Structure 1
Amino acid sequence: MLGCVIHGQGDLRVEELASPVPGPGQALVAVRYGGVCGSDLHYWRHGGVGDFRLKEPMVPGHEVVGTVVAYGSATPSPARPPAGTPVAVHPATPCGVCPECADGRRHVCRDTRYLGSAARTPHVQGGFAGEIVVPVEQLRPLPGGLGPRRAALAEPLAVALHAVGRAGPVAGRHVLVTGAGPIGCLVVAAAKAAGAARVTVTDLLPTALGHAGAVGADTLVQAEDPADPGWPSEVDVAVEASGVAAGLDSCLRLVRRGGVVVQLGMLPPGRSPFAGNLVVSREIELRGAFRFDTEFDAALRLLAAEPAFDALISAVVPVRDAESAFALAADRARSCKVLLDFGR
């Protein structure tokens, strides 16, 4: 089978990989689509994401959907969808015993395994391969009416739903989103689904702002233009989805006194300057948002109900052309979400 392997910074290869064999409690899944995520691009372009650095070749990818092929021995029948079932794959395997898991915060488990992640060594190999083996608990049958192409957005949408949940109640409120990449656009959709009265989005690129408008943003702001009439005087909630310090600065300066800022974008490694004096003098609540847990199931339901999400899929590229797919995904002026097609 074909798979993508990142051997180091700038070194992405499409290789013939051995088909895996499922063990007890595991499922073999034939991957159909895999969404290229910002973290995949960071591993390819920079050799790491934040503090997670590549130390060995790794198959990237954690936004995957496919079809159940088979199960390993001793896998309980009631727990497994029948072979041939279209499924999305929840990419996280939390340890279940650490203090975070015991506290119901499995998404920040200190010993989790996450598809396509260099957070631990040996690295957790990801989903950009023709077939993968995953714990049966990570399979999610697709809801009726949801095809695999749109379902490939489930993982990033779950990230967005978690971030909006971290903000607290947003119904009837004005929400600012800085950054209109795929995650930022999905935060727009998640905020609207949660009842936000108004969503303002900022970005440097008109194309990206157009994608945000397609999923429900009310006001689009050119981030480099301080005179843009769309800039709000203040907002109730802000979600920073760009991963740059300037975005966080905008959030802190525009959120109202006592408001909430959620840092979702992964900032560069090391120290990042921010307007901490505003956090104090305005008693702003600054909250982090990392991955997700049960929001994955909610994401699938929302995707099944809303065809507008299709507008975020810019291209579907055969796996043999993975490097061109990564290059397209990295060009925000030409794309939003790019999918790799592993169909045979």
Structure 2
Amino acid sequence: MDPDNLSVVLHAKGDLRLEQRPIPEPGPDEVLLQMHSVGICGSDVHYWVHGRIGDFVLKEPMVLGHEASGRVVRVGTGVTHLKPVFYHFLPLKGDRVAIEPGVPREMDEFFKSGHYNLSPSIFFCATPPDNGNLCRYYIHKASFCYRLPDNVTYEEGALIEPLSVGIHACRRAGITLGSLVLICGAGPIGLVSLLVAKAMGASQVVISDLSADRLAKAKELGADILLPVKREDLPEEMAKRVESMLGGMPHVSIECTGVESSIQTAIYATRSGGVVVLVGLGASMTTVPLLNAAVREVDIRGVFRYCNTWPTAIAMLASKRVNVKPLVTHRFPLEQAVQAFETTRQGLGVKVMLKCDKNDQNP
């Protein structure tokens, strides 16, 4: 095995470095992966720029990256469902897998009830103090690695992480056949929410954003109606525009920006008895028209990451019901990670993908 384990390590706010780290050994229930494709998330950039997200504060060097896929190189003694590159010295292909980055550390009440994403003891890649997988080699719990079908690429496998946010949000929203949907924000999460909403049967989706380029990408991905937004727009007026465009108020609004005025728009726009799902993370205290929601029985539901979504996402990708490939607009080899992060920070394109296997830079 090549001893090169180049890793993207954040040492402190603004201090991003490429450095060699030892190749780890998998435990009994773990696998060692040769990483292939890792997407850069806004949270990775936020840690780089600010050194923290809310209560999660960088206190020691941390490997970044959590949107990832790779190939199984070694398996722990207790792993039977995944095949490594070598088995009893016989060469095998090694299973290609997508990685679910959030792993419960204990079987608590949240794990038992199927809401393991809410467990306070969860391990999550690239969230202090846990390292991520933006490196050549990485170990992960085998039960949170999912085999990819032959017709699903590594990049699609890496994109299952953001796609899962969309799946979880649309499930929480209760989208079904014929739903009218408003999506606030056409960034990566807004776009995957659009893809999932259409796949789940939404009849019309209107999506809003400040950026004309992002709205154009939304149109390419199947949005029915584009709603350009200006910072000075008033939420109640925007809600009326949504109703006029859709020919009725949406059953569901999925808010992906975290911006106060956008959250207000989502509440005003949603029809009585409908659902607003809050996906975007903004200020810890936000002013919203709560009475308006209460008297119209508009449910406001939160979303925290995802749970039980990887099998669904893989099935959607393998069946070609969902196409995430257009989301990738930039690719960089691992050696150019700093340039890749700067590209993401500047808001260029949609999804920046880092290629970790120096011998295979293909999607």
What's the TM-score once normalised by structure 2's chain length? 0.88
- Give 2:46's match in structure 1, choosing from 32, 42, 51: 42
**Counterpart Cα distance in 2 of 1:13 and 1:246:** 37
2:188 to 175, 182, 190: 182
Cα distance in structure 2, aligned partners of 1:262 and 1:151: 25
Matched, 1:81 2:83: yes
Indicate conservation of the 8 Å contact 1:170/1:237, yes or no. no
Which residue of 237, 250, 255 maps to 2:270?
A: 255
What is the CA distance between 1:49 and its match in structure 2? 1.8
* Residue equivalent to 2:291: 277
Aligned counterpart, 1:308: 323
CA displacement at 1:170 relative to structure 2 = 2.9
CA contact (8 A) 2:99 2:158 kept: no
Structure-1 residue corresponding to 2:251: 236
Q: 2:21 aligns with which of 17, 30, 48?
A: 17
In the TM superposition, what are the counterparts of 1:185-334 in structure 2 within 5 Å? 185-224=191-230, 231-233=242-244, 234-268=249-283, 270-306=284-320, 308-332=323-347, 334=348
1:102-141 mapped onto 2 (5 Å cutoff): 102-118=112-128, 123-141=129-147
CA distance in 1, matches of 2:15, 2:162: 25
Offset at 1:186?
0.2
Matched to 1:94, the amino acid is P
Shift of 1:150: 2.1
Q: How far apart, in 1, do the equivalents of 2:292 and 2:20 lie? A: 53
- CA separation in 1, counterparts of 2:318 and 2:351? 18
Percent identity over the alignment is: 34
- More deviation in 16-25 or 60-69? 16-25
Indicate conservation of the 8 Å contact 1:150/1:303, yes or no. yes
Q: Provide the alpha-carbon RMSD of the alignment.
A: 1.7
| Helix, strand or coil at the partner of 1:212 | helix
Q: Deviations over 1:226-253 (max 9, x none)?
A: 7889633421100001122122111001
Counterpart contact for 1:50–1:266, Cα < 8 Å: no
In structure 1, what residue type is equivalent to 2:83?
P
For structure 1, list consecutive stretches of 5 or more residues without a partner in the other structure: none
Q: Deviations over 1:290-309 (max 9, x none)?
A: 11121112112222333732
- CA distance in structure 2 between the aligned counterparts of 1:103 and 1:294, rounded to whole angstroms: 12
The alpha carbon displacement at 1:51 in A equals: 2.7
Bigger Cα Rg: 2
Separation in 2, partners of 1:230, 1:295: 34
Counterpart selection for 2:172 from 143, 163, 166: 166
Letter aligned with residue 151 of structure 1: G
Q: Is the 8 A contact 1:22 1:71 kept in 2?
A: yes
- Partners of 1:159 and 1:187 in 2: CA distance: 8
1:43-95 deviations in Å (ceiling 9; x for gaps): 111112233221221111111101110123x2243x32343211111112113
Is 1:338 the counterpart of 2:352 in the alignment? yes
Could you report, residue by residue, the CA deviation over 1:303-333 in whole angstroms, capped at 9, with x for unpaired residues? 233373211101111111111111111233x
- Specify the SS of the correspondent of 2:62: coil
In structure 1, what is the Cα distance between the partners aligned to 2:139 and 2:289?
45
- How many pairs align? 336
Report the counterpart of residue 153 of structure 2 in structure 1.
Answer: 147
Task: Answer whether contact 1:12 1:44 (CA < 8 A) is retained.
Answer: yes
TM-score normalised according to structure 1 size: 0.93
Shift of 1:96: 4.4
SS in 1 for 2:61: coil
